[in-house]
Amino acid sequence: MNQKRKIRVLVAKPGLDGHERGAHVVAYGLRDAGFEVIYTGLRQTTEQIVNAAIQEDVDVIGLSILSGAHVSLTRKVLDELKNQKAEDIMVIVGGIVPSEDIRDLKEMGVREVFTAGTPISAISDFIESAIPAD
C-alpha cells in the first residue's frame, strides 16, 4: 500500500492588487499536474497566509504577486514563517519580477522565482524535484 505521497501547495495572493487570473491559472495548472492545491484568494495578510500554510501542512507556498511590492511582501511572509518556526516550508514566487529583484528574493530565502508567462510545467517540475519523495 505504498500510495505515493501527495504534494500540497498553498497558492496565495498577498498584498492589495486585484489581479487573480495568474493565480487561478497556476492553481488549476498545478491541480492538473497532480498536486493538491489550496487556494485562499485575494488580498491575504501575511498572518493569514502563514497560518493557512501551517494548518494545511503544505510543502510549498506559492506567492502570486503582481503589485510591484514583491520584495517587501515576500520578506514579510518569510519573517512570519520564521516567527512561527515554519521556515522549512518552501516558498516560491510568481509574477512580474525584474531580474535584480529575483536575486534579492533568492537571497532572502525564496527557492525559485517564476516570471509571468512561465509554463506551468516548469513550475510543477521544479516543485517535484525540490520536494523529497520520502
**With contact defined as beta carbons under 8 Å apart, do 5 and 133 qualify?**
yes
Q: Rounded to an integer, what distance in angstroms lies between the CA atom of residue 29 and that of residue 106?
A: 24
Residue closer to other proteins (CB basis): 49 or 92: 49
Residue closer to other proteins (CB basis): 3 or 129: 3
CB of 49 to other proteins, least distance (A): 8
Q: Rounded to an integer, what distance in angstroms lies between the CA atom of residue 110 and that of residue 132?
A: 17
CB of 70 to other proteins, least distance (A): 21
In the complex, which residues of this chain contact other proteins (CB under 8 A)?
Answer: 1, 3, 5-6, 8, 27-28, 30-41, 44-45, 47-48, 51-52, 54-57, 85-86
Residue closer to other proteins (CB basis): 8 or 71: 8
Q: In Å, what is the CA distance from 9 to each residue of 69, 77, 99? A: 22, 15, 25
